[in-house]
Amino acid sequence: MNEKKPLWPVASLLVLTGFNLFDYLDRTILASVLPRVREDLGLTYQQGGSLTTAFMLGYFLTSPIFGYLGDRVPRRWLITAGVAVWSLGTLLSGKAPGFGTLLAFRALVGFGEASFGTISPSWIADLFPTARRNNAITIFYFAIPVGSAIGYVLGGWIAVHYGWRAAFGFAGFAGLALAGALLLLREPPRGASDRVAVAAHGTVVGWSVYRELARFPRYVLVVLGYTAQTFAMGGFQNWAPTFLCEVHGMKLDAADLFFGGSLAATGLVATLAGGFTATWWQRRTGMGYAWVLALSAAAAAPVAFAAFSVTDLNFARTLLVLAMFLLFLSTGPVNTLILETVPIHMRASSMAASIFVIHLFGDLWSPQFVGYLSDRWGGLQRAVLWVLPIALVVSAFFWSWLVWWTKREKAAAASA
């Protein structure tokens, strides 16, 4: 019956992608208004960074719970509740009277987004067969740069004209109004697009599913490289508008507009280009996903170092755009590999475990760490210059190791 309705998977993908856009809009609103929040509430750099840390705590600490549930119970209600909760947290962020309450509301946003971010990719994997899956995942994740860009541009504009609290209020009300649309989606059976029964692959009982994930070397290497990249991107995205304001003298709304516009343009083009190229490469060699990850990280590291070190504003902006383009090339393939390097019945759990690890060791503390170094070193430039490019070198190392391991597995399979 479902095979006679080819528009159903596409329509579901578009709806989920739309909500993923809201997901990243709501989480980046904070960075776009952070200078005004710090000024209004009297926060240090480190306290400003800890607001993102609070979001990440709510996000990654609860993701294993939603991963466990996502492999076992109906997913539609879980992701609908997640959208409603994160939108409420965003709305309340604009009402926070002080630092402590704002920390709590940002953690609530993270809690809601954990449900949606953990479960939605496994839903999409069940909608599309292997040959089309990476392209579908790529489309879903192109909402990252677009949603983030809208968050920066819209948040900065509203903050300048109506105040930073109004920016949170707009985003929160919009999410609450639209959350019910997810209940209209029809949930696919687990493993439907693979044409196999999930039960045929066995079932990992209880929470031991997370221990079992360590038995898949390619999955481990994907996540380790992703963790290092997330560390770099988390620190940069949180402080980028502030960096442009303080180091290069741009006005806040101009910095937000530039960074948001660049994020949208480069992210959209690079996410789609990297995803579709990786699909083409993968079909011909079986190595496309791994190579796109390794090459993009290796190229981004020196470009990022140059972007943070040059003194000319126009040159710095050009290099920042190029660095963002290179980083977004891996968006689709990395998430596809997270799903495809483990058995079908572990997909939601694999996504949950990756979310837990990349945020625990990545952007949970990188914004605060950059803020800490900025306070100690008397400015932001040295902190981003020495911390973030080094993290990208680490990412390139693990993803290059992934290329080697994938070649090894292919050679072993060919000789068997």
CB burial of residue 152 (10 Å; 0-12, 13-18, 19+): buried
pTM (2 d.p.): 0.76
Which structural domains are found in the chain, ordered by start? 2-188+211-415 (1.20.1250.20)
Cβ 263 vs Cβ 153: under 8 Å: no
Written as one letter, the residue type at 98 is: G
Q: For residue 98, which phi and psi values (nearest 5 degrees)?
A: -160, -175
Helix H or strand E segment including 268: helix 252-285
For the record, the structure tokens of 32 come out as: 């776009």
- State how far the Cα of 13 lies from the Cα of 352, in Å rounded to an integer: 20
| Average pLDDT of span 145-164 | 84
Per the rule left: phi > 0, alpha: psi between -120 and 50, beta: everything else, 195 is left
pLDDT at 193: 67
Going by C-beta distance under 8 Å and a sequence separation of 6 or more, which residues neighbour residue 113? 23, 26, 27, 59, 82, 86
* Candidate ranges 63-67, 87-91, 294-298; pick with highest mean pLDDT: 294-298
Residue with the larger pLDDT of the pair 324 and 188: 324
- Average pLDDT in the 68-88 region? 85
- How far is it, in rounded angstroms, from Cα 70 to Cα 147? 24
φ/ψ (deg, to 5) at 43 = -95, 150
- Cα(363)–Cα(360) distance, rounded to whole angstroms? 7
Once rounded to an integer, what is the mean pLDDT over residues 160-170? Answer: 89
Average pLDDT value for residue range 1-16 = 70
> Distance between CA atoms of 248 and 256, rounded to whole angstroms?
13
Q: Is the pLDDT of residue 415 over 60?
A: yes
pLDDT interval class at 2 (50, 70, 90): very low
* Whether residue 203 has pLDDT greater than 60: no
Rounded mean pLDDT, 246-270: 83
> What's the pLDDT tens digit per position in 30-57?
888 888 888 889 888 778 878 878 887 8
Q: Residue 191: its pLDDT value, please?
A: 66
- Rounded Cα distance, 192 and 350, in Å: 18
Pick the more confident residue, 271 or 260. 271
Side chain identity at residue 325, one-letter code:
F
Q: Is the dihedral of CA 211, 23, 142, 194 positive or negative?
A: positive
Token digits of residue 36:
């005004």
Q: Identify the pLDDT of residue 201.
A: 46
pLDDT at 180: 80
Average pLDDT, the chain: 85
Residues 146 and 266: their CA atoms lie apart, in Å, by 9
As a whole number, mean pLDDT of residues 155-173 equals 88
Residue 187's contacts (CB-CB under 8 Å, 6 or more residues apart) are 74, 75, 76, 123
277-315: pLDDT as tens digits? 999 999 888 899 999 999 999 999 999 999 988 888 899
Query: Using 50, 70 and 90 to split pLDDT, how confident is the model at 3?
Result: very low
End-to-end CA, the chain: 39
Tell me if 404 sits within 8 A of 92, measured CB to CB: no
Chain centre distance of CA 409: 29
| Stronger pLDDT, 312 or 397, i.e. the higher one | 397
Q: Virtual CA dihedral for 226, 332, 268, 236, nearest 10 degrees?
A: -10
DSSP-assigned states of every residue in 348-360: HHHHHHHHHHHII
Question: What sign for the dihedral angle of Cα 392, 394, 395, 397?
Answer: positive
pLDDT at 207: 66
Share of the chain above pLDDT 90, in %: 26
pLDDT of residue 131 exceeding 60: yes
Contacts of 407 (CB under 8 A, 6+ apart): 287
